Structure 1
Amino acid sequence: MSERAAPFYCPYCGEEHLEPREEHGAWFCADCVRSFQLKFLGVGAPRTTASPPSASQPSKENDR
């Protein structure tokens, strides 16, 4: 597991007494007795959400 995916506090109670679990990315909080898992999604170029024109919107070619 990479160091940048290590949590600083529990997402449930906010305490810092965390222990790594055997599963990849899993952590255990000794204060609230809950387990959680981290998943690093990464950073990259933002995705564009451009969609093709719908049938209700005329295209530029039909405007001639």
Structure 2
Amino acid sequence: MIDAQDKVAAKLGAPRPLPPRGAEIFWRRIYVPIFHRLPLKLRNAVIARMPGSHQKTWKSQPPSRGPAV
């Protein structure tokens, strides 16, 4: 997302995002480029092992009783 913002800002002459600092340098300059070069199966395995909202599952709904109206 930040890369897209940077490209749009450069194209339109708007202020660009701030350069990465601290741990953000690792994520933006090392992890993301390597991640995008991984094969799709390996990428999906990495995503499945990471904590986050993608691991939450929907609770099953109770069976409906009678007409909805």
Structure of greater Rg: 1
- The structure carrying a bigger strand percent of its residues is 1
- The TM-score range, normalised by the shorter chain, is under 0.3
**TM-score relative to the length of structure 1:** 0.20
Q: TM-score, normalised on structure 2?
A: 0.19
Structure with bigger helix share is 2
